[in-house]
Amino acid sequence: MQNNDYYVIELVVRNHPGVMSHVTGLFARRAFNLEGILCGRIGDGTTSRIYLLVKNDDFMDQIIKQLRKLYDVLEVSLHDDYDYTIFNNLDTLLKPKNNG
């Protein structure tokens, strides 16, 4: 599904407590807008994948370059073709199994 307003940046990162801070801190101090974030471990747990929902604007190029500079970020890739319904329905994560 395509959504031209927003891109998903996929990061493969070293898995340790500080990594999230590095990534989100980058957005905060450069005043880039971060619309959504999902993260989970991969494989044996030494690395994780982070998915960032980011508005497609003039800063995209800088964001990618700055993310690449982070020592704990191993891979960066940009996706404009993704299932945007996931980010719009995050509350379904906690939906109760039974009704009533």
Partner 1 sequence: MKYNGAEITIKLLEMHGIDTIAGIPGGANLPLYDALYKSNISHVLARHEQGAAFIAQGIARSTGRPAVCFATSGPGATNLITAIADAKLDSVPIIAITGQVPYSLIGTDAFQEVDTYGLTLPIAKHNFLVHSINDLFSIIPEAFNIAQDGRPGPVVIDIPKNIQTEVLEFEEWPQLEKKASARSFLDVSQIQPIVKMIHNAKKPILYVGGGMIHSNASRALYKFAEKNNIPVAVTLMGLGCFPTDHALYLGLVGMHGARYTNLLMHESDLVLAFGVRFDDRATGNVSKFCPNAKILHIEVDEAEINKLKSSHHSIQGDIGSILEDLTPYIENMPRLEWIQEIEKYKIEYPFVLPNEDDVFHPINIIKYVSRNVPEDSIIVTDVGQHQMWTAQVYPFKYPRNLLTSGGLGTMGFGLPSAIGAALANPNRQTICFSGDGSILMNIQELATLADLHLNIKVIILNNGHLGLVRQQQQLFYEEHYIASKFIRNPDFATIAKGFGIPSCNIAEEGGLDTLAEILSEKGPYLINIPIRQTENVLPMVPPGAANTEMIGGEHHAK
Summarize as ranges the residues that interact with partner 1 (CB under 8 A): 16-18, 21-22, 25, 28-29, 61-62, 65-66, 68-69, 71
Nearer to partner 1, 62 or 89 (CB): 62
Nearer to partner 1, 71 or 97 (CB): 71
Please give the distance of CA 25 from its chain centroid, rounded to a whole number: 13
Q: How far is CA 18 from CA 15, 71, 83, in A?
A: 9, 11, 28
Q: How far is CA 88 from CA 64, 93, 99, in A?
A: 23, 11, 22
Nearer to partner 1, 12 or 64 (CB): 64
Whole-number minimum distance, CB 34 to partner 1, in Å? 15
